[in-house]
Structure 1
Amino acid sequence: IEALKAAGAKRAVLLPVSAPFHSTLMQPAADRLAEVLAPIEIKDITVPIVANVTAQEVTSGEEIKKLLVKQAAMPVLWETSVRNMVAGGVDIFVEVGPGKVLTGFTKKIAKGMMALNVEDAASLEKTLAELNK
C-alpha cells in the first residue's frame, strides 16, 4: 500500500479476502478447473448468462466452460457486467451463496434496482416474499 501511494495512487486499501481470487496467482487452480471441466459437456443455453471476464452475454456451452476457467485467474468486470445487464432490461438481481458482498456492490452500481441475496432458508423466504409482492 505504501509503495502504491508513493507511486502516486490516490487511495490504496488492503482487502480482507481469503484468497487471491480473479488474479494470476490463481492460475494453478484455473488449470486444475480446466482439467476437471474437460470431460464435462456443458450444453448451449437459451437464457444467456453474463460472463464476468467479458461483461458480455453467452449462450454457448463451450464458451461458458472456457470463460469459467478464465474467470478463476483473471480480473472480473463486475461493474460493467451489472451496467450491461441494466442496459439490457434487468431490474432484479439475486445473489446466491454465502455473504452479501455482490449484493452490496450491485446496489451501488445499479441504484434503484432490486438486489437480493439468498444464503440460507431465511434469506430464501425473504427473497421469495420480495419477488412475490
Structure 2
Amino acid sequence: MRRKAASVALFRGGSILLVLRPEGLWSLPGGRIEPGETAFEAARRELDEETGLCAAGLQRVFLFRPRSAPYDIAVHSGWSAFGAPRAGDDACAARFFAFPHLCDLKRTEGLEEAIGMAFLHAFRRPAHLAGCSPATYLRRRVHTAGFRGK
C-alpha cells in the first residue's frame, strides 16, 4: 500500500520555493501525512517545518504518483507573502528559484511535472494552450521568459 504525503508549490513572483533534501536533490517542501491529519494540514505543517513560511491562498491542486516513490502526494499551490525561507526539519536548504534556473538543478523525480501542474492551477492556463500538457506549457512559459534550455 502506498503511503500518503503532501507537498506545496509556493510561488513568489516568477519564482518557486524548493528545498534541498539530504540526498542532494531539490524538491517541493512536503512530507508524510500524520495519522488524523488532513492533506491540507500536513501541507501547511511541512511548509512551516521545512521553510518557516506560511502560504496564502493554499489550495489542493492534484494527486501525484511518482513511479519510484512509495507515496501518493497531494500537491497544493499557494503564494508566499512575507519572509525569507530558512531550512528546517529534514531540509538542508530552502530558497526561491526563478523558473529559468530550474533545469540547472538536480531534482527529485517528477518535480517539473508537479510544478507545471501547480503553476497551471495557480495562474490559470490561457485558452490557446488548453490542449497542451502542463510540462509543455511550463516549458513554453519559461522559454518566453528568456530560458533557452539545454
**Would the TM-score normalized by the shorter structure come out above 0.5?**
no
TM-score by length of structure 1 reads: 0.28
Ranked by relative contact order (alpha carbons within 8 Å, sequence separation 6 or more), the top structure is 2
Structure with larger Rg? 1
Q: Greater share of helix residues, 1 or 2? A: 1
> TM-score if structure 2 supplies the norm length?
0.26
Structure with the higher strand share, 1 or 2: 2
